[in-house]
Amino acid sequence: MAKQKAFYFDASACIGCKACQIACKDKHDLPLGVRWRRVFEYGGGSWVEQNGVKVPSSLFSSYLSTACQHCESPVCRDVCPVQAITKREDGIVILDSEKCIGCRYCEWACPYSAPQFNEETKAMTKCHFCYDLQAQGLNPACVDACVMRCLDYGELDELRAKYGDLNEIEPLPTNEITNPALVITPHKHSQKSGEGTGRILNLEEEV
Amino acid sequence: MNVHDWALITFTILVQMSVGSMWVLGAVHFFSARKYGMEEADRMSDRALLAIVPVIALGFLASLLHLGDPFNAPRAVTNITNSWLSREIFFGVVFAGLAVVFAFMQWRKLGSFGQRNVVAWLSALAGLVLVLSMSMVYMLPSQPAWNSWNTPISFFTTTFLLGVMAMGAALVANFVYEKRKNTGKTTNQLEILRATLRWISIAAIVLLGIHLIALPLYMVTLAAGSKAGLATVQLLAGSFGWYLGLRVAFLVIGAGVFAMFLYRYALSAGEEKTLSTLAYAAFVMVLAAEVLGRFMFYAAHVRIGI
């Protein structure tokens, strides 16, 4: 198997503090609206009336921290008309903003919103797995920032051997579109992608 | 709605209209030359052919507006082996180049008829591949609203519907000009025009039928297909309901009602004034309907995922 770097996320431990998101934003000095790593709150359920009182019934929610999945079949790379997106030998998918013409086609193709448009430079940008830090033997900024230790990274096959091969929980899309290099430990309330009964509860957040 | 989307609406509509117009004009020229000779056929269609050139130019200019860095646009053909967007740009350039060369050759009567004919055919065929590439650009698995048989069907229907309506209006305008200029007898020109407008009306009604059958089928299959697809249908029927209603109304009026009147008035001579009003009005209606349709195409797609 070819080398493939991958992220690991432990949904059962995430408390939704968004330290990973902010560490990423800070490290890469991302402008307003651009978030290479994002934390979603996903939940659902309802309230029922019991003896004249509304009580929660089947309410659930959990967090999902997600970035670029450095997919094994990156659709963003395939559709880019100027070949600005490439997959490195270690599996990391990188975007050369200098080559980018800002047509935003990758934005339409990626179901994870990994490529994001920088309004200031008029070019796309995306998570590059902090390959600069990794080259120095350091961890990606998001992984080091996680206070609950629910983010990890490494070789995909090693992560799978350690944590299993789940890579699709709501609100992520099903894995067949891009074959994401991602390993997840689910929360007790996590639902399989495509079978969710909830919705993203923090869509209006913008940093 | 933003500049990005309007650039794409303008580009796709104008370029599809140009491709359709090339085919319609080719057919008009072929049939009128067979019956009335080359000179009358040229007189009928040459100005309309020249009118396509600025439309193509405007379309491509608009396409640059959707880029963050238009100056690097020439590099956009480099991923032709993988990306339909690269293919669209490649065939766009081929179509535009050949169409402009053909229009120039035809205008100045450069080369033999056979040579011009070859360029015209190549340009028209490149146009078809272009419209196919344009549809394939949107066949992205994460975009259920686009990743549907409806995209190529509606793109091609729009291509030919805009083609017939635009050329109907252009040929009428050409006739009015010929008559005012008094360049000679216009009896044959009127004959060709009336026959053409009758065929244009029939084509418009058939194409309208395809649009009207495809739309509900598309919405039903999309709603049943996925959550994101259902969300698009809810948008189309909900917040975009007015736009959708207007689009259907404009289509029915332009390509249905006006086309029927166009057919009727084109049956007898002496109705040139009514014919020209109808042809212009039908074109404007259909153009407005297609712009509305393309607007919703870009505004109401809901992507799978986050």
Name which of A105, A112, A191 to mutate to probe chain B: the one with the most chain B Cβ atoms within 10 A of its Cβ: A105
Residue B273 has pLDDT above 70, yes or no: yes
Distance (Å) from the alpha carbon of B83 to chain A's nearest alpha carbon: 4
Which of the residue ranges A25-29, A34-38, B266-270 would you say has the lowest mean pLDDT? B266-270
Residue of B nearest to A120 (CA): B68
Cβ atoms < 10 Å from Cβ of B97: 14
Question: Under 8 Å CB-to-CB from B87, ≥6 apart: which residues?
Answer: B80, B133, B136
- Res. A77 pLDDT band, cuts 50 70 90: very high
Residue A207 has pLDDT above 70, yes or no: no
Distance (Å) from the alpha carbon of B217 to chain A's nearest alpha carbon: 24
Distance (Å) from the alpha carbon of A93 to chain B's nearest alpha carbon: 16
Residues of chain A positioned with their CB less than 8 A from the CB of B304: 111, 173-174, 177
Contact flag B79-A82 (C-beta cutoff 8 Å): yes
Q: Does B170 touch chain A (CB under 8 A)?
A: no
Instruction: Kindly give the pairing relationship between strand A182-185 and strand A5-10.
Output: parallel
Angle formed at CA B23 by CA B209 and CA B276, multiple of 5 degrees:
70
Give the separation between CA B145 and CA B219, rounded to whole angstroms.
Answer: 9
Which of the residue ranges A80-94, A120-134, B168-182 would you say has the lowest mean pLDDT? B168-182
Q: What pLDDT score was predicted for residue B222?
A: 97
Distance (Å) from the alpha carbon of B198 to chain A's nearest alpha carbon: 42
In the stretch 132-161 of chain A, residues with CB closer than 8 A to chain B read: none
Mean pLDDT within B186-201: 93
ipTM at complex level = 0.90
Q: What pLDDT score was predicted for residue A164?
A: 95
Contact flag B69-A101 (C-beta cutoff 8 Å): yes
Residue A44 has pLDDT above 60, yes or no: yes
Residue of B nearest to A112 (CA): B306
Contact flag B78-A109 (C-beta cutoff 8 Å): no
- Res. B186 pLDDT band, cuts 50 70 90: confident
Q: Does A78 touch chain B (CB under 8 A)?
A: yes
Question: DSSP readout, B25-44?
Answer: HHHHHHHHHHHH-HHHHHHH
Reported as a single tens digit per residue, the pLDDT across B129-165 is 999 999 999 999 999 999 999 999 999 999 999 999 9
Tally the residues of chain A.
Answer: 207
In the stretch 47-86 of chain B, residues with CB closer than 8 A to chain A read: 66-70, 72-73, 75-79, 82-86
Residue of B nearest to A85 (CA): B79
Q: Does A172 touch chain B (CB under 8 A)?
A: yes
Q: What pLDDT score was predicted for residue B12?
A: 97
In the stretch 222-281 of chain B, residues with CB closer than 8 A to chain A read: 227
- Res. B272 pLDDT band, cuts 50 70 90: confident
Q: Which domains does chain B have, with CATH numbers?
A: 3-299 (1.20.1630.10)
Residue B59 has pLDDT above 60, yes or no: yes
Residues of chain B positioned with their CB less than 8 A from the CB of A109: 140, 142-143
Give the separation between CA A143 and CA A162, rounded to whole angstroms.
Answer: 17
Place of tokens 């009758």: B198
| A94: alpha, beta or left? (left if phi > 0; alpha if psi -120 to 50) | beta
- Do the Cβ atoms of A107 and B54 come closer than 8 Å? no
Q: What pLDDT score was predicted for residue B187?
A: 87
Percent of chain B at pLDDT exceeding 70? 99
Residue of A nearest to B71 (CA): A101
Verify cis geometry, omega within 30 degrees of 0, for the bond prior to B216. Answer: no
Name which of A73, A103, A121, A124 to mutate to probe chain B: the one with the most chain B Cβ atoms within 10 A of its Cβ: A103
Which of the residue ranges A48-57, A159-168, B233-242 would you say has the lowest mean pLDDT? A48-57
Q: H-helix or E-strand containing A116?
A: strand A116-118
Q: What pLDDT score was predicted for residue A50?
A: 87
How does the average pLDDT of chain A come out, rounded? 94
Which is it for the CA torsion B125, B127, B131, B137, positive or negative?
A: positive
Calculate the CA B144 to chain-centre distance.
24
Q: What pLDDT score was predicted for residue A1?
A: 58
Reported as a single tens digit per residue, the pLDDT across B235-245 is 999 999 999 99
Percent of chain A at pLDDT exceeding 70? 99
Contact flag B85-A101 (C-beta cutoff 8 Å): no
Residue B1 has pLDDT above 60, yes or no: no
Q: Which residues pair with A185 in a beta bridge?
A: A10
Name which of A34, A42, A75, A79 to mutate to probe chain B: the one with the most chain B Cβ atoms within 10 A of its Cβ: A79
Mean pLDDT within B276-284: 96
- Do the Cβ atoms of A107 and A83 come closer than 8 Å? no
Give the separation between CA A147 and CA B89, rounded to whole angstroms.
Answer: 48
Residue A30 has pLDDT above 60, yes or no: yes
Distance (Å) from the alpha carbon of B227 to chain A's nearest alpha carbon: 8
Q: What pLDDT score was predicted for residue B82?
A: 94
CATH architecture of A5-72+129-200: 2-Layer Sandwich (3.30)
Residue A185 has pLDDT above 60, yes or no: yes
Q: What burial letters (b/e) apply to A184-205, b meaning 16+ CB within 10 Å?
A: bbbbebbbebeebebebeeeee
- 3-state SS, residue B59: helix
Q: Does A107 touch chain B (CB under 8 A)?
A: no
Residue B3 has pLDDT above 80, yes or no: no
